[in-house]
Amino acid sequence: MARFVVSVAHKGDSDLLSNLPDIALVGPSNAGKSSLINALAKSRIALISNKPGKTRTLNFYDFNTHYVVDTPGYGYSHASKTDKSSLMKILDNYFLGPRSIVGVFQVVSSHGLSANDLEVSEYLSGHFHNYMLIVNKIDKISKNQLKKLLGSISASTGIGSDSIIPISAKMGLNLSLLNLKIREFLK
């Protein structure tokens, strides 16, 4: 059974974690990362808020064979410059630190990619070979809109359709595909 373990805000705070590998979830505020964690856990272990920008730390969830790491949302427009700088430092320390990050999933909403999403996608795809993009909240758009969105994302990022997973954490759509990809990353 999955469970919350610890929130990490400073370099060295994760030293007490076991050597389980990490699966990182990165995305803008309100893309549904916490909802996705709850869907994967089949339990409410991550707090969900309607207000964007609530995740201010790295939150580690133990899934027995790996940790799922919920990272602070990027691109939250109401955060101060100091807050944004602090959040970026947390991410930098994590990505450049000693943790074994075996997979990175960038979670975006079905509204399409922002300039921040594109910038983060370029960084992540250039630094992690086990990188995939998740389009969450597909239950809010039609199948035709989804098809156009996926084509647009692929064209703007250069990411092949095999590295983009359309999902609905709320409805459970394509969670089995995501679990399969996680298992592949853990091999």
Query: What's the pLDDT tens digit per position in 5-25?
Result: 998 877 666 777 899 999 999
| pLDDT of 51 strictly over 80 | no
3-class secondary-structure state, position 101: strand
Q: Which CATH class is domain 3-186?
A: alpha beta
Nearest to 111 by CA among 81, 65, 75: 75
- Residue range 62-73: average pLDDT? 94
Helix (H) or strand (E) holding 83, with range, is helix 81-96
Helix, strand, coil percentages in the chain from 3-state DSSP, rounded to 5: 40, 20, 35
The residue ranges of DSSP E strands in the chain, in sequence order, are 3-8, 22-26, 58-62, 67-70, 101-109, 131-136, 164-166
State the pLDDT at residue 50.
Answer: 58
DSSP letter assigned to residue 33? H
Go through 78-100 and write b for each residue having 16 or more CB atoms within 10 A of its CB, e for each that does not.
ebeeeebeebeebbebbbeeebe
Domain definitions of the chain by residue range: 3-186
| pLDDT of 80 strictly over 60 | no
State the pLDDT at residue 85.
Answer: 62
Does the pTM surpass 0.95? The reply is: no
pLDDT 10s digits, 134-184: 999 999 999 999 999 999 999 999 999 999 999 999 999 999 999 999 999
pLDDT 10s digits, 95-133: 888 899 999 999 999 999 999 999 999 999 999 999 999
Alpha carbons 47 and 34: distance in angstroms, whole number = 7
Position 83 confidence tier, pLDDT thresholds 50, 70, 90: low
Position 1 confidence tier, pLDDT thresholds 50, 70, 90: confident
Count of other CB atoms within 10 angstroms of residue 110:
19
Lowest mean pLDDT: which of 27-31, 62-66, 82-86? Answer: 82-86
Rg (CA), the chain: 15
Phi and psi based region of residue 174 (left: phi greater than 0; alpha: psi -120 to 50; beta: remaining)? left
